[in-house]
Structure 1
Amino acid sequence: MGARMVLSLLLLALAIYCGLDPFNHSAIHGFPNFVSHEVELPDPSSIPTNKDPLNLLQNSEIKFLGQIQGPESLVFDPLGRGPYTGVADGRILFWDGTNWTDFAFTSANRSVCDPQPNPFGYLKNEHICGRPLGLRFNKKSGDLYIADAYFGLMKVGAEGGVATSLVTEAEGVPLTFTNDLDIDDDGNVYFTDSSSQYKRRNFMQLVFSGENGGRIFKYDPVTKETSVLLKNIQFPNGITFSKDGSFFLFCQGSGKIIKYWLKGDKVGTTEVFAILPGFPDNIRTNKDGDFWVALHCRRSWTNHLMAANPRFRNFVLKLPIKAKYHFLFFIGGWPHGIIIKYSPQGQVLQVLEDAPGKVVKAVSEVEERDGKLWIGSVLMPFVAVYDLDSTSA
């Protein structure tokens, strides 16, 4: 057990010894208006134990170090150019083969947009500047669709510029934390909203609380109508279609991948596709129909303890310690890169990891292209590129 973990436990013991009632919410003051919910815990025996003992992600090439900050999603346009990526100050950048250039913005108000976020990856003014997360090109029209955490679903044409707002609410409920999207062959956009209560800059409260106000939507660009497919979900995040379009998958903060059937006898129903060993972000389909899942770090015993005891969790969150120590206690360690490839049937095909976090410290998305994995991270000031051929070498 690390020194920081011991510190947290000692503080907890001291608080109890001093007479604080763990279940007296009126004595709790650290996180205003914070309420913990039940967290869906998977059966421990179902959590995969596959690891990468060689820490192969440490063989990744670090590109563009210091040139970009927080490139969560990486996409290439229908002509194969790019990558394009959204960064911390609200811009969407384009790599032209020589330099990064401004391609698009989700906010025209740029006067307060400092590109340097805090250590947890968010800006003081990102609710003004915008924070583009998931990106996808419509391969037929060339339009770039954007899931902006604050401004909802947006679109910009192939020429770039200020993006157009498409969806900011559904069924009278505003979008609060728009996160990721994918586009089907008919141009319909499926996207996630991670919370009904917490904005992206409050993502730690969302993780710690277990709030289940997330939703998944379908936007029809012809009728401009938005329908709610699923609601009451704990932190829905990345979303992607299967190669044949018969279902889509989305990552859930509780550590699951959920399958939603779009065709066949089970249309409109869901089922668990896979149980994950950690905390997922985006998921992407490769040309073979397999799925690459990005995880921030593995589960820990402290995570299970906190998840199973919401009232106890509420109390611990109010202890007078820094947010980073809460993160250590609840998550069990700092982020480190983990990537898992799943077959269309949900079998683990490959695990790539940097357990010490020496090179790939965090992973938000993995885009496979021409035998390489392009790895984005909402926390890091670079893109990592992993050569798949080196795995079999």
Structure 2
Amino acid sequence: MPIPRPPAPWLIRPQKLPATTPPPLTGPWAPADTRLDDVELLALPHGHGPEDVAVGPDGHVYSGTHEGQIWRWPPDAHAGAVPELIADTGGRPLGIEADPRDGSLIVCDAYRGLLRLTGDGTITDLAHRVAGERILLCNNAAVARDGTVYFTDSSRRFPVSHWRRDLLEHRPNGRVLAYDPVSRRTDVVAEGFHFPNGVALTPGEDALLVCETVSHRLVRLSLPDGAVRVLGDLPAYPDNMSSAGDGTYWIALASPRVALAERLLPHPALRRIAAVLPARLQPQPLPYVIAAEVDGDGAVLRTLHGPSGRYVMATGVRRHGDTLWLGSLTERAIARTPLS
């Protein structure tokens, strides 16, 4: 049964902010490696928007779509392989992670909240409220060794169907939450983030790395005190991120920063008008994707580029062995490329 889609506020509440200038794609961000223009596509049977991609302990590959369906590809899937439909959340699955304890999937459903999906297709609701308030945009997660789930609630004002309004409002509407599987309690770890999106645990599980999409930042969030340290201002909009398990992380960057959106920051009235225009008339993401490998201090180790737009709006990234997997908010396929 489809989950009701919450309405979005019609008017945004933008503040006057200084304009920013996107940094150039130079140094470690230079497009020297453009292999994302030559990815192998594994198509969905129907539907679109496989926003994230996860690899289970047995090598199976998972992704969820705009229509609510979660698909599974075998470990040796080729370009013509037909995935298996394993569940339908009725909402909009975004981030997907494997629980290290049993291999079940933790699913961030933008409308339904935090879910668990077992191999037989059973879906269990874990969290949809915190401190008496609805979790409005459950987005991405990281699962600790003891099963604690750290996850982002990207906006307390705008559902995923109106993410552009949150970008134009440009306020710290998001927060990071934690679900305890023993007490079944959900708590706020920290709040005041600009569309917190991707999240990953450090190897010692003493901190989280968090991507803020709207403010194009990578931050380190200490645990359990919740202290925040900015690691870097990024030249593109970061989305999901994942740990490689060796102290490095991969970040999916859906688009280079849009100069028009940056120039609108000092003009709240214009941003209010832009927020109610049809989506096609609002500032648009660019058909250029980047996947970046960083260390625990945010230093950029490697970047892969797709400047020709063969695969656009890359929002999920996962390294598994020598393969990098990509998901997209808008495409009709997941993608992979060898790293060697």
131, 136, 143: which one pairs with 2:97?
A: 136
Unaligned runs of 5+ in 1: 1-30, 107-128
291, 299, 302: which one pairs with 1:347?
A: 299
**Counterparts of 1:196 and 1:159, CA distance in 2:** 33
Q: 1:219 to 1:41 in 2, by over 3 A?
A: farther
Residue by residue, what CA displacement relative to the aligned partner does 1:242-273 show, whole Å, maximum 9, x if unpaired? 1232211111121001101127xxx4311012
> What corresponds to 2:327 in structure 1?
376
> What corresponds to 1:63 in structure 2?
42
Contact 1:182 1:190 in 2 (8 A): yes
Structure 2 counterparts to residues 79-228 of structure 1, below 5 A:
79-80=58-59, 82-96=60-74, 97=77, 98-106=81-89, 129-161=90-122, 163-228=123-188
Residue by residue, what CA displacement relative to the aligned partner does 1:16-44 show, whole Å, maximum 9, x if unpaired? xxxxxxxxxxxxxxx93232245687786
> What corresponds to 1:290 in structure 2?
248
TM-score in terms of structure 1 length: 0.77
RMSD over aligned Cα, in angstroms?
Answer: 2.3
**Counterparts of 1:40 and 1:55, CA distance in 2:** 33
Contact 2:190 2:226 in 1 (8 A): no
Tell me how many residue pairs correspond in the alignment.
325
Residue by residue, what CA displacement relative to the aligned partner does 1:307-347 show, whole Å, maximum 9, x if unpaired? 233233224445xx64212123xxxx534211111122221
Structure 2 counterparts to residues 309-388 of structure 1, below 5 A:
309-317=267-275, 322-328=278-284, 333-357=285-309, 359-388=310-339
Higher helix content, 1 or 2: 1
Residue 262 of structure 2 aligns with an amino acid whose one-letter code is H
Q: 1:354 to 1:43 in 2, by over 3 A?
A: closer
Residue by residue, what CA displacement relative to the aligned partner does 1:341-364 show, whole Å, maximum 9, x if unpaired? 11222211111111231x122211
Q: 1:45 to 1:62 in 2, by over 3 A?
A: closer
**Counterparts of 1:41 and 1:229, CA distance in 2:** 30
- What is the aligned-residue identity percentage? 27
**Counterparts of 1:238 and 1:90, CA distance in 2:** 20
> What corresponds to 2:223 in structure 1?
262
Residue 372 of structure 1 aligns with an amino acid whose one-letter code is T
Shift of 1:68: 5.5
> What corresponds to 1:308 in structure 2?
266
**Counterparts of 2:313 and 2:204, CA distance in 1:** 30
Greater Rg over alpha carbons, structure: 1
Shift of 1:384: 1.4
**Counterparts of 1:66 and 1:335, CA distance in 2:** 24
Unaligned runs of 5+ in 2: 1-8
TM-score in terms of structure 2 length: 0.88
Instruction: Judge which range, 241-250 or 364-373, deviates more.
Output: 241-250
Residue by residue, what CA displacement relative to the aligned partner does 1:270-306 show, whole Å, maximum 9, x if unpaired? 1012211111110111132211111111114322211
Instruction: Judge which range, 36-45 or 47-56, deviates more.
Output: 36-45
Q: 1:199 to 1:99 in 2, by over 3 A?
A: same
Give secondary structure in 2 for the equivalent of 1:308.
coil
